[in-house]
Amino acid sequence: MRAKKTPLRKCIVSQEMYDKRDLVRIVRTPEGNVKVDPTGKASGRGAYMVRTMEAFQMAKSKKLLNRALKMEITEEMYLSLEVELQKVVKK
């Protein structure tokens, strides 16, 4: 019996390929909201990054989420994302 193939995704910060389970997905919903998607199945445009606050700070400073999600992300959106991410990041 063949082993199940695990999907790979590219981190928007490091540009490296990782197992999908090792990354966190940030999604722009069809309504235009931006949120953390812990299940990885929410509908909308998604971007993956490593589960660290350092990666999030780098994405914020370089505006990588703006480019990946194809929308302008405000400071308030970044603050709410940071609170949500602290629940799912690796310490």
pTM: 0.89
* Size of the chain in residues: 91
CB atoms within 10 A of CB 14: 12
Q: Are 47 and 26 in contact (CB under 8 A)?
A: yes
What was the pLDDT predicted at 91?
A: 54
For domain 8-88, give the fold: Hypothetical Cytosolic Protein; Chain: A; (3.30.1230)
pLDDT band at residue 3, thresholds of 50, 70 and 90? confident
- Across residues 21-26, what is the average pLDDT? 94
Question: 24-81 pLDDT, tens per residue?
Answer: 999 999 999 999 998 889 999 999 999 999 999 999 999 999 999 999 999 999 999 9
Tokens 């197992």 sit on residue: 19
What b/e string do you get for 21-31 counting C-beta neighbours within 10 Å, with b at 16 or more? eebbbbbbeee
Q: Kindly tell me if the per-residue pLDDT of 90 is higher than 90.
A: no
